Amino acid sequence: MTSERCNLRAGFRAVAATVLMSLLVACSPIQVRSKPGTTITVILTRHADRDKDSDHLNAKGRERALALVEAVRGMGVTAIYSPDARRNLDTVRPLARELGVEITITPEMAVFVADEIARDMLDRHAGGVIVWVGNVSGNLHAIYHQLGGVGDPPLEYGELFVLTISDNAPVRVEKRHYGP
């Protein structure tokens, strides 16, 4: 084997190890606390329904996006976070319009920056209520675990997990469902 091939393999192994470590760190449960004297509520859901291999919501997905507005009405949503993917943004746009809340757009592959996004939510929105709409491809797992969730995040269309993050108690998760 030539030294050039050895260097290529070593480089590939280094990249693979870095990616694996990023995934492990991003998906490791951590003890999460809100700022002293505050409680943060984070509402996590998967983007609404779409047809396989399409980034557009289908009719049921558009109906579910409207149902999300009703599902969180009265909860005092103060912030909305969404990866930069059409299906995610189309899921939260009706909610953003209804509430007059700007969508904070994150990278689609948020799994690699989940710790930064979680810290941003906790720092900027102490005492607030945040909606995060994610993807099964990894960012839902990463964000859910960075915010102290244990087990699987909301993976099915219409699942809604409400995380209560206080300054002095473990994270509480309430599982709900919305839409058709």
The conformation of residue 49, written as its DSSP 8-state character, comes to P
What's the CA gap between 147 and 158, in Å, rounded? 20
CATH assignment of the domain containing 59: 3.40.50.1240
Between 20-29, 72-81, 168-177, the lowest mean confidence (pLDDT) is in: 20-29
Identify whether the C-beta of residue 60 lies closer than 8 Å to the C-beta of residue 175: no
Q: Amino acid letter at 142?
A: A
Q: Amino acid letter at 65?
A: A
Q: 35 or 123, which is more confident? A: 123
Could you count the other beta carbons within 10 Å of the beta carbon of residue 35?
13
Task: Give the total number of structural domains in the chain.
Answer: 1
Does the pLDDT value for residue 166 go beyond 70?
Answer: yes
Q: Does the predicted TM-score (pTM) go above 0.75?
A: yes
Q: In this predicted model, what pLDDT tens digit does every residue of 69-116 receive, in sequence order?
A: 999 999 999 999 999 999 999 999 999 999 999 999 988 776 678 888
How do beta strands 129-134 and 79-83 pair?
parallel
pLDDT, position 162: 98
Q: Domain limits at 32?
A: 3-177
